[in-house]
A and B are shown apart, each in its own frame.
Chain A
Amino acid sequence: LPAATSRMQEDDEKMVQKYLESYYNLRTDGEQIERKRKSGPMVEKLKQMQEFFGLKVTGKPDAETLNMMKQARCGVPDVVR
């Protein structure tokens, strides 16, 4: 179970990064998400996404935010690229 959990967390982190890159112009340069997560851009983009969808604005990838990110959607970014 713990191994599965940590695997899941890793997958979720990748998904969050990919989602924010795709739809919120998050720019990454190949750095690991663990380093990015504590810095500004990731938190700011998460907040932007949470505000857009009317979620609680925490800047953290909480369960509700992850659920929203997992839904099927249009591929056009929510902010202009």
Chain B
Amino acid sequence: YALTEGNPRWEHTHLTYRIENYTPDLPREDVNNAIQKAFQLWSAVSPLTFSQVSEGQADIMLSFVRRNHHDNSDFDGPEGQLAHAFQPGPLIGGDVHFDEDETWTRDFRNYNLYRVAAHELGHSLGLSHSNDIGALMYPHYFHSGDVLLSQDDINGIQTIYGPSTNPTKPKGPQTPQVCDSKLTFDAITMVRGDVMFFKDRFYMRVNSHYPEPELNFIAIFWPNLPSSLQAAYDIVDKDEVRFFKGDKYWAVQGQEMLPGYPKDIYRSFGFPRSVKRIDAAVFEEDTGKTYFFVANKYWRYDEDKQSMDAGYPKLIAANFPGIGSKVDAVFQKDGFFYFFHGTRQYKFDPKTKRVLTLEKSNSWFNC
């Protein structure tokens, strides 16, 4: 996070706000709700409280304006700049301006008013832009459905105003750091030649042509996938990737989500009802078999026959010696299986059934 230069802040903790005018894009009640919820995000993690007033000068005045609106920053018409806000202070200080040339929504369509208001209020309270892509104070617009303060945002606001007076100390989601030696993964798979690592709401992607790992929201590619996936595998010859969470799974081809999903793992693969989640999965190109890892056992599924092979589940330790008895994630590359458990990674040769190397889990990121 970053604080506004000079560390401007409100000296009182109870602030007032007024909505000066309303966008015609939404019913007034939706605008009121969006703004109220945006204030609540910040009040939940700080000692600040906010109340709406209907007339006169409030600490934070919010308005919908376009182009030249008589401050130091004209708006630029549709797209581009969506809104701006002023640092804490008297008069125009703290005020928020929304560009009326945008279309304002209450849903996933561009641009969600609650999402933008929540960001701008961060400026009104003294925060500057964060370079943490998972932070609400990141300067670019992205809306995945949830509006969350990340731990970075919480750290920022609490640096200015101190901790919340709420006895339950709210925590925000952390954005994974690719070079964090404690980094673990929810799921990993190849996607059209790139290795994609999944963690919470994010993916990390590497390919041989571009050594810098890319970190972004899963929803950028697949808006309908849930966060915190548990397993994933790609069937190269079908150009299909399957993602698992709980007893459900989704299928995609490239960026396209395939219709008819999510489906349940019981009817599609024949798992017994005692299996509540898949920890990891990998497709073996040579044999057309998919291995599913569940607790300390694994199952083998024949993708051609579309049925589970007989004689499973078996113990992981019996047939994958050296990788332990639990798998967080696994993918196949160049004929080898790469197993991940905690911060450890095992390169495994399925032909000789031997572990070839042991590495840190984030060894793919050129740290």
A35 to B81, CA, bound (A): 27
**Chain B residues with Cβ under 8 A from A71's Cβ?**
140-141
Size class of the A contact interface (CB-based, 8 Å): 10 to 19
**Within 8 Å of chain A (Cβ to Cβ): is B9?**
no
Instruction: State whether the Cβ of B187 lies closer than 8 Å to any Cβ in chain A.
Output: no
Residue of A52, A54, A74 with highest tally of chain B CB at under 10 A:
A74
Q: Which of A22, A56, A68 contacts B212 (CB 8 A)?
A: A56
Q: State in angstroms the CA–CA spacing of A75 and B120 once bound together.
A: 9
Q: B91 → chain A, closest Cβ, in Å? A: 17
Chain A residues with CB under 8 Å of B289's CB are none
Digitize A20-59: 1 where CB-to-B-CB distance is under 8 Å, 0 elsewhere. 0011000000000000000000000000000011101000
Known: A54-B215, A80-B4, A80-B5. A74 touches B73 (CB 8 A): no
Inside 8 A of A76's CB, which chain B residues have their CB? 84-85, 123, 128-129, 139
A72 within 8 A of B: yes
Q: How far is the CB of A62 from chain B (nearest CB, A)?
A: 12
Complex: chain A residue closest to B111, CB-CB: A72
State which size class the interface on B falls in: 20 to 34
Contacts of B119 in A (CB 8 A): 74
Q: How far is the CA of A56 from the CA of B212 in the complex (A)?
A: 8
Collect the chain A residues with CB atoms within 8 Å of residue B73's CB.
75
- A74 adjacent to B139 (CB under 8 Å): yes
Pair B133/A73 contact, Cβ less than 8 Å: no
A10 lies within 8 A of chain B by Cβ: no
Question: What residues on B are CB-neighbors of A23 within 8 Å?
Answer: 139
Docked Cα-Cα span, A56 to B131, in Å, equals 14
Could you give, for residues 96-126 of chain B, a 1 whenever the CB lies within 8 Å of some chain A CB and a 0 otherwise?
A: 0001000000000011000010011001000
Residues of B193-219 whose CB lies within 8 A of A: 212, 215
Name the prevailing secondary structure of the B interface residues: loop
- Shortest beta-carbon distance from A19 to chain B in Å: 9
Q: Separation in Å of the A47 CB from the closest CB of chain B? A: 14
A78 at the interface (CB under 8 A from B): yes
Chain A residues within 8 Å of B79, by CB:
72
Is there an interface contact between B75 and A54, defined as CB atoms closer than 8 Å?
no
Which residue from chain A places its CB closest to the CB of B85 in the assembled complex? A76
Partner of B129, one of A68, A72, A78: A78
* A75 x B140 contact (CB < 8 A): no
**A75-B129 CB under 8 A given contacts A56-B212, A80-B5:** no
Q: Closest residue of chain B to A15, judged by CB? A: B80
Give per-residue flags for B62-87: 1 if the beta carbon is below 8 A from chain A beta carbons, else 0: 00000000001101000111111100
B110 touches A75 (CB 8 A): no
Taking a contact as CB atoms under 8 Å apart, the answer to whether B131 and A73 are in contact is no
Return 23 A-B CB contacts under 8 Å, by A number. A22-B81, A23-B139, A52-B129, A52-B131, A53-B131, A54-B215, A68-B140, A71-B140, A71-B141, A73-B81, A74-B116, A74-B120, A74-B140, A74-B141, A75-B81, A75-B83, A75-B84, A75-B99, A76-B84, A76-B129, A76-B139, A78-B129, A80-B5
Instruction: List 8 A-B pairs, minimum CB-CB distance, nearest first.
Output: A75-B84, A75-B81, A80-B5, A72-B141, A73-B140, A71-B140, A73-B139, A74-B139
